[in-house]
Amino acid sequence: MTYDVSPLFSPLDIGGKTLRNRIVMPPMVVNRDLGGAAAREWYGRRAAGGVGLVIIEATSVADVGGRWSADDLRPLVDAIHDGGALAAIQLFPGVRGDPIVPADLSLDDIDVLINNYHIAAQICADAGFDGVQPHGAHGYLLNQFFSPLKNTRTDPYGGSAENRMRLALRIVRTMRGIADAAGMLILYRHTPVGPGYGIDDSVELAQALIDAGVDILDISPASDAAPGDRAAPFVPLGVPVIAVNLLDEPARALEVLNEQRAQLIAVGRGLIADPDWAIKVREDRLDDLVTCIRCDSCHADLRRGVPVGCVQWPD
């Protein structure tokens, strides 16, 4: 079947940056050292495959400036730029797999975490990143702070919606001045429905995040009702919105854009399977796509701590 794919390939200007198209590679942990050649090849190859924006996987703010310096990360950014895409990085508040919850943090711990985001933002700016993204989704720490069921604090970071937003807003504000000076975008990833909160609550948070300086909202995931359905309520807020969930199927991706449920679509496992997804869709080579078969082997690789691959890859 032939589609009019032009909506996928129209540029988008935001905050002084131009995305060459509406296709985003979302943050996916792939177990490749960000300071090494394997990560440069992985991310650079997918940038060269035609996407508009590459978001590097969830990366601990403690590692940015600890394990990796700006000099370590700059070659990775350069590889993505050489492929023609913008480069962002998702910044994770702790260590993946560490089951920390809001009640575990003292007020001093929170101040340290916010300062870590400040330091990480400066290092990312020095490395040449086009954007930084606090990870506030999928039940991880920042998402738990927003949840009235997960956040049991009784201090200024718990209780009311204003208090439960406070950590995310302080993180965004501490990064905003650095982003302004560097011409860098701030993205924020959020899960729109979670324990004890719904869409209306999330829209309230999103508006506060925008007021604090967020340039792009990354809404994950959608429901099963329609592609990008849970991203749609955020579009009226006036900043670009990224939708995700099975959007490696071109008809679903186009539905999101044509129905104005989001301005950007994220292709995740489809880009693991086929780094040339964007080029092949643009050239109407859909029969040539190496498709994701939803087997979850890539996620199994992630859990085992081995470099993520795909059973669909040719030998």
Distance CA 2, CA 7 (A): 14
Distance CA 193, CA 215 (A): 21
Say whether pLDDT at 95 is over 80.
no
pLDDT digits (tens, 9 = 90+) for 29-47: 999 999 999 999 999 999 9
Q: Are 277 and 49 in contact (CB under 8 A)?
A: yes
Q: How many residues does the chain have?
A: 315
Residues whose CB is less than 8 angstroms from the CB of residue 250 and which lie 6 or more positions away in sequence, other chains included: 3, 5, 8, 281, 286
Say whether pLDDT at 315 is over 80.
no
pLDDT digits (tens, 9 = 90+) for 220-259: 999 989 999 999 999 999 999 999 999 999 999 999 999 9
Considering the domain boundaries, does residue 134 fall inside one? yes
Say whether pLDDT at 313 is over 70.
yes
Considering the domain boundaries, does residue 39 fall inside one? yes
Three-state DSSP state, 285:
coil
Considering the domain boundaries, does residue 224 fall inside one? yes
Find residue 243's DSSP bridge partners. 265
Q: What is the per-residue pLDDT for 99?
A: 81
Distance CA 159, CA 171 (A): 19
Considering the domain boundaries, does residue 1 fall inside one? no
- Contacts of 177-181 with C-beta under 8 Å, sequence gap 24+, read 178/118, 178/121, 178/122, 178/125, 179/121, 179/125, 179/132, 179/213, 181/125
Lowest mean pLDDT among 27-36, 75-84, 88-97: 88-97
Considering the domain boundaries, does residue 12 fall inside one? yes
Considering the domain boundaries, does residue 292 fall inside one? yes
Q: What is the per-residue pLDDT for 1?
A: 59
Look up the domain containing 199 and give its range. Answer: 6-304
Average pLDDT value for residue range 193-217 = 98
pLDDT digits (tens, 9 = 90+) for 143-152: 999 999 999 9
Q: What is the per-residue pLDDT for 314?
A: 81
Question: Comparing C-alpha atoms, which of 82, 76, 91 is closest to residue 35?
Answer: 76
| Residue 37 neighbours by CB distance under 10 Å | 12
Can you point out the beta strands (E) in 48-181?
53-60, 86-92, 131-136
Say whether pLDDT at 61 is over 90.
yes
18's enclosing H/E stretch is: strand 17-19
Q: What is the per-residue pLDDT for 65?
A: 85
Residue % of the chain over a pLDDT of 70: 99
Q: What is the per-residue pLDDT for 96?
A: 72
Considering the domain boundaries, does residue 93 fall inside one? yes
Considering the domain boundaries, does residue 76 fall inside one? yes
CATH number for the domain harbouring residue 115: 3.20.20.70
Q: Number of folded domains in the chain?
A: 1
Instruction: Round the average pLDDT of the chain to a whole number and report it.
Output: 96
Beta pairing class for 12-14 and 17-19 = antiparallel
